[in-house]
């Protein structure tokens, strides 16, 4: 990795933490919405003991970096430490930002949106802000959960503490914000899919694949499976098309073999020719 690439990643982490810090000061902290994470604990301790949110984020982050070093390596933890320190400083620096709303529902929704965008930007820069974000990345590495799912599960415990510290109503608003955050993270990470993957089982697989190549200008792969009941070999076609091309694909299959078996599902992300370019 070149120095320029490393620099871009650190800039990405810095931009992401700036968005997170803005979310805290413009929406979450003023409305006592502890939407999970060490930041959520920071909100609780701020109103309980007047401890600055940024200081809580920095101090409580330190124990997790040892685990991160073993799983992801020192370079990753270096970005995580950078992200944690940057977030701590920016949360305190951005206290001058105006409070956008005192409506709890609006604060939980828009705070969650900004939080999700910021965290996703940090993830895409291969960084971390530590805390439960780092815990979510650890769960993603060990068990394969999405970042959003991992963050939702870990941060739920913090929301429970918020319910005890403040009241049940604020905890429910924190859950709304937490859910919005998790969905935005996955949306920014994976994008809005407009692609469909089709698996076609037919005795005329070669003809169908040829028509897909010629009429839709899409790639197709033919492979052989085995029927579980009959034990007979079955040829199958796998192809990926856009949403708008699905009706044409169905027409091609029906015309070639009206007894074919077709499964069409959403392809969350497609990289390659004709779709999104591959990237590291």
Q: Where are the domains of the chain?
A: 3-190, 195-267
Q: Which two tokens stand for residue 134?
A: 């780092």
Report whether 117 contacts 19 (CB < 8 A): yes
Residue 65: its pLDDT value, please?
78
Report whether 174 contacts 34 (CB < 8 A): yes
Angle between helical axes of 37-49 and 131-143 (0-180°, round to 10)? 150
Residue 110: its pLDDT value, please?
96
Q: What is the pLDDT along the chain (280 residues), one digit of tens a residue?
A: 678 888 888 899 999 999 999 999 999 999 999 877 788 888 888 888 888 888 888 888 887 777 777 777 776 677 778 888 899 999 999 999 999 999 999 999 999 999 999 988 988 887 777 777 677 777 777 777 776 677 667 777 788 888 888 888 988 998 899 889 888 987 887 666 668 889 999 888 999 999 999 888 888 999 888 888 788 888 899 999 887 788 889 989 999 988 899 999 877 666 666 666 655 4
C-alpha pair distances (Å), 123 with each of 21, 136, 137, 146, 158: 16, 11, 9, 12, 21
CB atoms within 10 A of CB 30: 19
**Euclidean distance between CA atoms 181 and 108, whole angstroms:** 10
pTM of the model: 0.71
**Beta-bridge partners for 261:** 201
Task: Specify the length of the chain in residues.
Answer: 280
CATH code for the domain defined by 195-267: 3.30.70.120
Question: Which of 105, 111, 154 minimizes the C-alpha distance to 21?
Answer: 111
Residue 230: its pLDDT value, please?
81
3-state secondary structure (DSSP) of residue 266: strand
Rg (alpha carbons) of the chain, rounded to whole number: 24
Helices (H), ranges, 166-228 = 168-190, 205-211
């Amino acid at each position: 990795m070149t120095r320029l690439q490393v620099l871009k990643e650190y800039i990405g982490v810095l931009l992401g933490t700036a968005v997170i810090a803005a979310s805290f000061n413009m929406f979450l902290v003023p409305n006592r919405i502890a939407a999970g994470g060490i930041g959520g604990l920071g909100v609780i301790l701020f109103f309980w003991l007047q401890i600055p949110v940024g200081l809580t984020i920095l101090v409580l982050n330190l124990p997790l970096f040892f685990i991160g070093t073993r799983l992801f390596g020192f370079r990753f933890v270096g970005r995580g430490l950078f992200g944690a320190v940057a977030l701590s400083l920016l949360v305190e620096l951005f206290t001058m930002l105006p409070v956008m709303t005192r409506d709890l529902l609006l604060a939980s929704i828009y705070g969650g949106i900004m939080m999700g965008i910021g965290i996703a930007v940090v993830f895409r820069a291969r960084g971390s802000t530590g805390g439960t974000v780092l815990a979510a990345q650890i769960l993603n590495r060990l068990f394969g959960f999405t970042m959003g799912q991992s963050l939702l599960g870990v941060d739920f415990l913090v929301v429970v503490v918020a319910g005890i510290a403040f009241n049940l109503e604020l905890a429910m608003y924190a859950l709304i914000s937490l859910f919005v955050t998790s969905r935005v993270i996955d949306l920014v990470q994976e994008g809005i899919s407009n692609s469909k993957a089709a698996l076609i089982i037919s005795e005329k697989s070669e003809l169908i694949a040829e028509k897909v190549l010629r009429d839709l200008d899409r790639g197709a792969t033919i492979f052989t499976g085995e029927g579980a009941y009959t034990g007979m070999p079955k040829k199958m076609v796998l192809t990926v098309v856009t949403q708008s091309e699905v009706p044409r694909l169905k027409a091609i299959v029906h015309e070639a073999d009206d007894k074919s078996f077709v499964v069409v599902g959403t392809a969350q992300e497609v990289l390659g020719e004709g779709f999104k370019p591959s990237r590291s």
